[in-house]
Amino acid sequence: LPNAGCEIAETPRYSGSDKREACIIATKKWQVGDEIKYCTGVLVPITSEEERALEGGRDFSIMWSTRKDCMCLLLGPARFVNHDCNPNTHFIATGQNTISFKLLRDVAVGEELTAHYGENYFGQGNEECLCVTCEQKQTG
């Protein structure tokens, strides 16, 4: 959508990957508290068996839903919002099965929109995290 305020773009951030990776980039200036209404996702609960089957490929966005108290598959453009340990957005529920994002700080045009996936999403204490913040701190 031309007026969405963000777009899906390719990122070189995860160059160790053998596949092309995507991110969400701001196409307008965002201010703290703004809701990104057109970067949405649908949460689909999955079983433990389905989670194990999906983990091998890791081509899917799987996240824990505190609201549903289970692991869910995240579908829609929201799945391209990458993790950062110091994110500029956070997940918000917009319906029974849908999410969007709210800005935690101001974001400039061209800046990647990020969210925090959780303290142990990338291993214990996110020790395997590859985000910009961890790279700058030389952790993860």
State residue 129's pLDDT score.
87
d(CA 47, CA 126) in angstroms, rounded, equals: 24
State residue 62's pLDDT score.
83
Using DSSP's 3-state secondary structure scheme, residue 135 falls into: helix
d(CA 124, CA 56) in angstroms, rounded, equals: 18
State residue 64's pLDDT score.
80
Report residue 140's pLDDT band, with 50, 70 and 90 as the boundaries. Answer: low
| pLDDT tens per residue, range 91-118 | 999 999 999 999 999 999 999 999 998 8
Structural domains in the chain? 6-137 (2.170.270.10)
Q: Is the overall model pTM greater than 0.85, yes or no?
A: yes
Residue reference for tokens 């963000």: 6
- Token readout for 43 is 């949460």
Q: What are phi and psi of 69, to 5 degrees?
A: 60, 45
The predicted model gives 11-36 an average pLDDT of 88
Angle at 108 between CA 103 and CA 113, to 5 degrees: 50
| pLDDT tens per residue, range 38-77 | 999 999 999 888 888 877 665 568 888 888 888 898 999 9
Using DSSP's 3-state secondary structure scheme, residue 47 falls into: coil
State residue 44's pLDDT score.
93
Angle at 76 between CA 112 and CA 70, to 5 degrees: 100
